[in-house]
Amino acid sequence: MKFISKILSTLLCATVALHALAAPVELDRVRIVVNDGVILQSDIESATKTLFANAKKNNQELPSQDIIQEQILDKLILEKLQLQEAERIGVRIDDNRLEETLKDIAKNNQQSVAQLRQTVAEEGLGWESFREQIRDEIAASEARNAMVRQRINILPAEVDNLAELLAQESNATVTYNIRHIQLRFKEGEDKSDVEKQAKDIVAKLKDGEDFATMAYTYSKGPKALEGGDWGWMRKEEMPTIFADQIKMQTKGSIIGPFRSGVGFHILKIEDVKGLETVSVTEVNARHILIKPTVILSDEGVKRALNSYIQKIQNGDATFAELAEQYSADPGSAAQGGELGYQTPELYVPEFKHQVETLPIGQISAPFKTVHGWHIVEVLDRRDVDKTGSAMQNRAYRILFNRKFNEEASAWMQEIRASAFVEMIKDEDTDDDSN
């Protein structure tokens, strides 16, 4: 289980015997300024502590402390920037959503929530701090998803062409468990030096060096602090640069180094699974969308949506009538709010969660996404085999996943490059800004 802990500013007070003065204690220190936010010394210590605890649990050897420190600082800065984006676009994770996520984390680790709490405590983490870090992770993820989705453009011809190719394939697909090391080009650096370093790493890997340890040490890729682990993926789900290099290699294969616009890459095929049958579940839902304005607050929107629910339940109006009259989504409003049969993955996370979990015929409570406030009702669900429409959906998902991974990496590099980041050194050293 991967736990990432962030402990907010803490003041420790010490008391001594009667008539004695309280001993001075050091406050938590600001170590990095990120735009208008900060990363505290306790954040760094907590992330370091968690990383070493997970490494010990997994019998994973780690590189030196200074290398780990650099990787952790990079990760914390990116997390802070994504949280700032979440705040800027108004992403809020309520307690109900948080509790559902915690249940999922426990379930994925074959634990109850109580057992999860015990595990967190054994790692030296406070439960409330852990909960808030998970809340932050969800918010950052949703901000990233929302911003990256805006950058993705998929042409109908792309979907048609890929769907035709998929239709010619068998139902079986091969999945790969892959790891990745990325060496980035630095401004003014000789690219041949980076290539030589990449070749040296490949040579060490082929001589038996542990890939995860090498990823911790050298990689600047998005999964560096997971040992380069991208998990199980079909070729269609991988970034294009990965998929182009994988040509049915066997378990244990080292691929690369190969070059992209940002640097050199190395892949390892940890394992390969055989045949998998693709099955698609589609949901037909309808919704009413209301967007807050300067005049209409979030609370006002929620009251309006709750009044619509009451009217529907009282028989004073139908869902379709209210959608046509009030919904701010013109495309679905003209259809009585109906979105048609779609795979849930096409929706933003909050909406996806609702259409996946709501019983058929039940109207949700008002909930917020990056688009505004919604109520939604699931009309029907169906499992679809690889027929024409299902193949189109699968082709779209494949294209979306490829472009999403590529654009997400580019977006994170852009927000990092444009951010004000200042390292706060000890008093006897100089500051470093970039």
Query: What are the boundaries of each domain within the chain?
Result: 30-149, 170-273, 280-384
Residue 418 has pLDDT above 60, yes or no: yes
- Taking the C-alpha atoms of residue 55 and residue 212, their distance in angstroms, rounded to an integer, is 11
Q: Which of 26-30, 182-186, 399-403 has the lowest mean pLDDT?
A: 26-30
Q: What is the pLDDT of residue 4?
A: 33
The CATH number given to 280-384 is 3.10.50.40
- At residue 101, φ and ψ (nearest 5 deg) are -65, -40
Q: Which of 19-23, 117-121, 278-282, 361-365 has the lowest mean pLDDT?
A: 19-23
Residue 16 has pLDDT above 50, yes or no: no
Q: For tokens 């439960």, name the residue.
A: 127
Q: Which of 54-58, 171-175, 331-335 has the lowest mean pLDDT?
A: 171-175
Q: What is the pLDDT of residue 213?
A: 93
Q: What is the pLDDT of residue 20?
A: 33
Q: Mean pLDDT highest for which of 9-13, 88-92, 360-364?
A: 360-364
- CA distance to 62, 317, 319, 372, per residue, from 291 (Å): 49, 21, 18, 5
HSE on the CB side for 2, CA within 13 Å?
6
Q: What is the pLDDT of residue 279?
A: 62
Q: How confident is the model at residue 23 (pLDDT cuts 50, 70, 90)?
A: very low
The amino acid at residue 167 is A
DSSP string, 164-231: HHHHTS-S---EEEEEEEEEE--TT--HHHHHHHHHHHHHHHHTT--HHHHHHHH--STTGGGTTEEE
How do residues 101-139 score in pLDDT, each as one tens digit?
Answer: 999 998 988 899 999 898 888 877 788 888 888 888 898
Residue 148 has pLDDT above 80, yes or no: yes
How do residues 220-276 score in pLDDT, each as one tens digit?
Answer: 998 999 999 999 988 888 888 998 888 767 788 899 999 998 899 999 999 888 644
Residue 375 has pLDDT above 90, yes or no: yes
Q: How confident is the model at residue 426 (pLDDT cuts 50, 70, 90)?
A: low
Task: Give Cα 241 to chain centroid, integer Å.
Answer: 20
Residue 267: its H or E element: strand 263-273
Do 30-149 and 280-384 show the same overall fold? no
How do residues 168-189 score in pLDDT, each as one tens digit?
Answer: 564 346 788 999 999 998 887 8
Q: Can the peptide bond before residue 222 be classed as cis, meaning omega within 30 degrees of 0?
A: no
**Contact predicate 254/206, CB 8 Å:** yes
**Contact predicate 237/162, CB 8 Å:** no
- Taking the C-alpha atoms of residue 376 and residue 391, their distance in angstroms, rounded to an integer, is 26
- Taking the C-alpha atoms of residue 11 and residue 24, their distance in angstroms, rounded to an integer, is 11
Return the percentage of the chain with pLDDT > 90, whole number.
36
Q: What is the pLDDT of residue 205?
A: 94
- The CA angle 210-211-214, to the nearest 5 degrees, is 90
119 burial class (0-12, 13-18, 19+ CB within 10 angstroms)? middle
Packed helices 113-122 and 95-108: angle between N→C axes, nearest 10 degrees: 80
The alpha-helical segments, DSSP class H, found in 110-167 are 113-122, 127-149, 156-167
Classified as helix, coil or strand, 253 is coil
How do residues 269-312 score in pLDDT, each as one tens digit?
Answer: 998 886 444 567 889 999 999 999 888 899 999 999 999 999 99
User: Could you tell me whether strands 280-290 and 263-273 are parallel, antiparallel, or unpaired per DSSP bridges?
Assistant: unpaired
State which fold the 170-273 domain adopts.
Chitinase A; domain 3 (3.10.50)
Q: What architecture (CATH level 2) is domain 30-149?
A: Orthogonal Bundle (1.10)
